[in-house]
Amino acid sequence: MIPDVKKYSNNKPENAELIIGADVGGTNTNICVAYEKKGKPEILFSFHYKTQTISTIVYPLKEIIRYTEMKYNKKPVKACIAGAGHVNKEKGYCKLTNAEWDLDVKEIKKHTPLKEVMLINDFEAIGYGVNLLTKKEIKTLKKGKEKEGAKTVIGPGTGLGKAILVKSKSKNIYKPIPSEGGHTSFPAQDMEELELLESTRQELKDTPDFEDFLSGKGIVRMYEYLIINKKYPDTKPRQEISVSTKKEMLIAKYYDKDSACSDTFKWFTKLMARCARNYALETVSTGGVYLAGGIIINNKDHFNKAIFEKEFTDNRKMKKMLKDIPVYMILNYDISLKGACLAIIKEK
């Protein structure tokens, strides 16, 4: 297996300790090698795999360690691996939510030269990464007045991830607290949403959660509901989408050319705002809300700001607080790798 290699820096960290940062999601597995520079990670290069084509993290780790040793004549012995699933830190174990394999610290140490392995949730990694964001790496979706207080990160992708960030004075960063809030039950607000909820309940034979709508599969699910329940013209995009195995990508591609695709993203925007609002209220995120992940990056121009702000601030008692909370979109896809490396630096 030949991984996709991405180069970041030509620096030669002769006297620096090399570290590994990894992000294992339901679709992509990304692994980087970095070193500490002025308290921050400097990524040298990264390997990229499709999660469904591998059955363990061990082989990619051994491969990147071998490559590093050939290139720099030394190998990393510390790693932070972020997994899309619940992490049992005491046991050093993560069952990945949308993959058929898992992460096990004991297995990794047994089969690799790594001496220290830190295991965190994938949105913990993004949370650490928020500390490293530059102005060029974010886009404001909703203006506000950032104040002292918690921050939150939410990200739709293969699933739906969340994390809470609280200020750590001792470490001088916002430190993430993991969450499985993406699996909270979906609250329907009108008859159309109730019908969507019921059709999804029948499809899943179980109670739908936010992740069932705010994810790649969720975009397709909402589009297909609209096609079945509303009268849309039989367009070329609709015909192309109907036979495609990559429906989510085509719905996004034709969002401003096909009314069904456009309505899907309006609905997605509204539900994204509702999810963000609920989480902001639960955590009092006066420091801001950050939307992350591939769906956000690839569709950053598809979000109707008026729809988002109206839904985000739609609360009878907390409207003033919600109006003051800024909402940002993270545009750097590698923020999870940077965050995983920062976790090693700050928690060592």
SS3 state at 162 = strand
Residue 189 one-letter amino acid: Q
Give the H or E element holding residue 315.
none
Per-residue pLDDT tens over the stretch 91-144: 999 999 888 999 999 999 999 999 999 999 999 999 999 999 999 999 999 999
Of 123, 152, 137, the closest CA to residue 326 belongs to 152
Which of 21, 25, 17 is closest to 119 using CA atoms? 21
* pLDDT recorded at residue 1: 60
pLDDT tens sequence across 278-311: 999 999 999 999 999 989 999 999 999 999 999 9
pLDDT at 256: 92
Which residues, in sequence order, are bridge partners of residue 178?
163
Kindly state the helix (H) or strand (E) to which residue 284 belongs, with its residue range.
none
Q: Which residues of the chain have pLDDT under 50?
A: none
Domains and CATH numbers, the chain: 4-128+334-347 (3.30.420.40), 135-331 (3.40.367.20)
**Matching residue, tokens 């180069």:** 7
DSSP state string for 137-164: GEEEEE-----SS-EEEEEESSSEEEEE
Q: Which of 157, 179, 155 is nearest to 166 (CA)?
A: 179
Residue 88 DSSP label:
E
d(CA 328, CA 140): 5
CA distance 209 to 58: 32
